[in-house]
Amino acid sequence: MKPLASTVALVAGATRGAGRGIACALGEAGATVYCSGRSVRGKTAMKGRPEAIEETAERVTAAGGTGIWVQADHTREAEVRALVERIRAEQGRLDLLVNDIWGGDELTEWGKPFWELSLEQGLKMLERGIHTHLVTSRWAVPLMLAGGRPGLVVEVTDGSRNYYRGNLFYDLVKTTVIRLAYAMAIELREHRITALAVTPGFLRSELVLDHFGVGEESWREAIAKDPHFAFSESPAYVGRAIAALAADPEVGARTGRAWSTWELAREYGFRDADGSRPDWGGHLREVLGGVLERAAAALGEPPADEEPAAALERARAAVAAAMDRAGLGFMAPTIPGGWYERLLAAGGELEPGAFDRLIEETFG
């Protein structure tokens, strides 16, 4: 079955990673997919990466759709406008826009407070990860409106809740595009166009696979290095999530919100490319529950003369140590201050269900 056989889509930022997976999944569902990006064969835009936008379009066609590649730098308005005009001339309409433009991996400085970050790199990340989405929506949405058909705009993000993502500029990008989806949903609600955000979980992008020294066929070999990798997902998973949304006639009920691959998989029934159904959110909740339990036990009863500042630092240290033991030390900066205060207030023992509520409030 090809539920998207009559759908014209634009996946902006489809060269690699989630964007390539999304484009191919839309092709699998029969869509005509315009795949845009900066990298072409013989002239890739990201240092050290071989992926090219032509390859994505070829994979879309091989999957059962029609792939059309267009080289475009989405920081340049003229190029975006020309891309949309080409779609207008060739198809006369646009039904689905996926904003996955990123280009921030090489700019993100993990482990530094914001006052030590490169301002030049940070502002460039905002340009690549936010401005590009605004420019693309500005020119693509009018073509969707002109078609007079129900439409869908998807913002691809990282995380669906309001927690800190570990780097100031990265956090601004990933939370802003969620807000962008919400704002567009408000303005588009009278036009039968849905706008929402979608987040993958632990994504096995080309960069991540290379980091672990494995390929997509051999990715399980990396679980020995990182047990959490067992709950990772291929780019096809987020692609199938978006394909399911695009094929849902009731998708408008989801407008303005951020959705995760794992919750959409439960609702729509799709699976990853290998037949699995990864649940990164469920895994994270389970692990973080153990983290909080260990941290609470380590805190115990506070010293009688302990100063508030010292108590807070002790709670932070207990949570950080528990995160390290769980192999999630990189996530320690994302933990909100309220966790430490509630651990201290509980005197080392949280009431039943408190762990689940803390995790749900933060990570969903």
Tens of pLDDT, residue by residue over 152-197, are 999 999 988 888 888 999 999 999 999 999 999 999 999 999 999 9
- Mark residue 79 as left, alpha or beta (left: phi above 0; alpha: psi -120 to 50; beta: remaining): alpha
- Cα–Cα nearest to 109, from 126, 122, 96, 99: 122
Tokens coding 280: 């990164």
Reported as type and span, the H/E element at residue 42 is: none
How many C-beta atoms surround the C-beta of residue 183 within 10 A? 12
pLDDT bin (cut points 50, 70, 90) of residue 15 is very high
Residues belonging to the chain: 364
Residue 75 contacts residue 128 (beta carbons within 8 Å)? yes
Tokens coding 229: 């990798």
Q: How far apart are CA 33 and CA 239, in angstroms?
A: 12
Secondary structure letter of residue 124 according to DSSP: H
Mean pLDDT along residues 276-284: 93
> CA angle, corner 358, sides to 353 and 361, nearest 5?
120
Q: Where are the domains of the chain?
A: 8-278, 281-363
Q: How far apart are CA 203 and CA 16, in angstroms?
A: 12
Fold exhibited by the domain 8-278: Rossmann fold (3.40.50)
- Cα–Cα nearest to 138, from 80, 62, 68: 80
Residue 212 identity: F
pLDDT bin (cut points 50, 70, 90) of residue 48 is confident
**pLDDT of residue 314 exceeding 80:** yes
State the chain's mean pLDDT as an integer.
Answer: 92
pLDDT for 352 equals 63
Q: How far apart are CA 150 and CA 352, in angstroms?
A: 46
Task: Please report, for residues 43, 197, 284, 313, 324, the alpha-carbon distance to residue 337 in angstroms, rounded to integers and kept in the order given.
Answer: 46, 26, 19, 11, 18
pLDDT bin (cut points 50, 70, 90) of residue 22 is very high
Lowest mean per-residue pLDDT among 64-68, 258-262, 333-337: 333-337
**pLDDT > 90: what percent of the chain?**
72
Mean pLDDT along residues 5-12: 98
Tens of pLDDT, residue by residue over 317-354, are 888 898 888 888 877 777 777 778 777 776 656 666 66
Q: Are strands 96-99 and 66-71 parallel, antiparallel or unpaired?
A: unpaired
Mean pLDDT along residues 11-20: 97
Mean pLDDT along residues 33-62: 94
The SS3 call for residue 22 is helix
CB burial of 206-224 (b: ≥16 within 10 Å; e: otherwise) equals: bbbbeebebeeeebeebee
**pLDDT of residue 90 exceeding 70:** yes
List the strands of the sheet with 96-99, edge to edge. Answer: 66-71, 32-37, 8-12, 96-99, 151-156, 193-199, 258-260
**pLDDT of residue 363 exceeding 70:** no
